[in-house]
Chain A
């Protein structure tokens, strides 16, 4: 059976000038700054990896910066996120300290996870980042529990639960969305849809055009948006967050974007064409947002460049400092496994 491949019937608000007027200047600046930091951070991490300083593997989200920034921009500081292996963008958008984060990539004792987690498992519990999971879809049931605790404690906080397009084919996705919907939990499910589960294009693994269509079977709102349009993402997620905060339960937001890099550092990109990659590079979310800001006369060209260069310098500094941090000691590892 071949799927009906009518691709991405996306509801988008590309270049939404309404939001450009409504959002405070500081918020727009914050968005651009975070997007630039994510880009430079990942490029730097890739560079350190190629130099053999980062161990293991890593999953880069270059090209997907608008999704993490646009969604997290809707949150209050006390709100929470839980995410996945391609999670550097969420971590930075949620306000992680860049040096501490870089230290984790380098496996340092001062890293977020004291060198025990690495790039795939960054958590910043006190900052509301409840951690990244390396098993596809594995964070979604845990998200149900976090949201359940928020509900039982009558908290006003909401949780954003991120996962990739591939995760929506996991049984855990189905179990969790059904449960969260049944109990009307304060969670927004966000699909970082970069269109590939490792080598498998979404069209080869599901018989629907848009992942958001799955929401209907759980009786929750679903929407697909242009994940390269930071304002479109913001608008869609803001509605879902308000819905969750007011006790109406979860939503599913499908943010369609594209990862420029391979799945992980071992990827040879054998499953897609160079032309396709080039086409998406032309849709760069950062360049696009800068253009929108300049056209709407929110910022000048030199203002956006200043933000860009500041972000770059911040990352360079973080990487430099992080490399000086001490390595962890293997001595008492067993004692860290269990809480007292």
Chain B
């Protein structure tokens, strides 16, 4: 994937570039959300886009998350391809009726006679000191709703390719952008490209144990893998990239190979997406190759706290991954 001479840009720039390139290509694509225009978006993702595309396609809105989601849903029902930015993923709670009861259901409920091609871009996750109402990772809510797809890229390359694929997809796609990843730099080709939504990627190969991680947990798992390699433990890191639809095969293949798996995410463990991953693995051919119980390392079951120490303690950090993976790798060996 990473060619030698590709320029490096940030995750944030990759998201912006994907939107710009798709908007140049397709007049039906537009961006709608709070302060996406003059302000350039709360995190600056849409900075400069108003100048190129004008206020109609870079559409500032009232602070009305339900109506924003409805505006995107209705426009998508008409065949346009809106990209809706919610300022923080937490605010999707206000949009939920439109997303869950309208956007996700209309196609099926109306007998397959319409489609809702829209993207919901949602800055997610903790680590910025924004506390309980601006730091959540709500992916598990949405993967449980048939009709919505959920994507959570972990690198600039993936962010661009998956966002273009999401915009071109004919269904509502929730696109999670972790706030701490925005500044992450990486090689990204200049020309538009897509990454299929059902394609996990092995981010690092290893024989002793598999870590399944997505979003911010991928760079953390890779860092942990590097440390463990020094101890002689070879970790394989698999990033599902899209949580729904899920590329089960890549995960099952990796776990069958290593016989051990650690699943990690930032959202709280109880009812979290890791449970789904664990069930997929346990119910697959990989079961016969498991040489230790499937283990989850998730956020603790608390709202994200404000204090820096507490905040870091609430979600898995690199050292937590190292410790859990080491223990799992050594069990019975």
A-side residues, CB < 8 A to B, are 82, 111-117, 121, 123, 125-126, 130-131, 133-135, 138-150, 152-153, 171-172, 175-176, 178-179, 182, 334, 336-340
Contacts and interface: CB of A to CB of B under 8 A. Distances in A.
Given A117-B110, A135-B97, A339-B170, A148 B67 contact: no
Nearest to B117: A339
B67 A149 contact: no
B31 to A, nearest CB: 12
Interface in B89-133: 97-98, 101-102, 106-117
B61 to A, nearest CB: 7
B79 A149 contact: yes
A337 B171 CA distance: 9
Nearest to A115: B111
Interface string B4-35: 00000000000000000000000000100000
B112 A336 contact: yes
**Does more than half of chain A's interface fall in helix, strand or loop, or is it mixed?**
helix
B70 A144 contact: yes
B149 A338 contact: yes
Contact of B64 (A117, A143, A178): A178
A116 B80 CA distance: 25
B285 interface: no
Nearest to A109: B111
B147 interface: yes
A23 to B, nearest CB: 31
B75 interface: yes
A112 B64 contact: no
A126 B112 CA distance: 12
A141 B64 CA distance: 10
A148 B75 contact: yes
B97 A116 contact: no
B77 interface: yes
A147 B74 contact: yes
Interface in B49-79: 56-57, 61-62, 64-67, 69-79
With most chain A CB atoms within 10 A of its CB, the pick from B82, B97, B110, B170 is B110
With most chain A CB atoms within 10 A of its CB, the pick from B30, B65, B101, B113 is B113
B192 interface: no
Contacts of B102: 133, 138-139, 141-142
11 contacts: A112-B113, A114-B111, A121-B110, A125-B114, A135-B97, A138-B97, A144-B74, A146-B74, A149-B75, A175-B67, A338-B147
Given A111-B111, A130-B77, A337-B146, 6 more contacts: A130-B74, A152-B56, A178-B62, A334-B146, A338-B147, A338-B149
Interface string B143-173: 0001101000000000000000000001100
B34 to A, nearest CB: 12
A192 B150 CA distance: 37
A113 B57 CA distance: 33
Contacts of B146: 334, 337
Contact of A125 (B69, B113, B171): B113
A246 to B, nearest CB: 19
B98 A146 contact: no
Nearest to A122: B110
The 4 A-B residue pairs whose C-beta atoms are closest, nearest first, are A141-B70, A145-B74, A114-B111, A149-B78
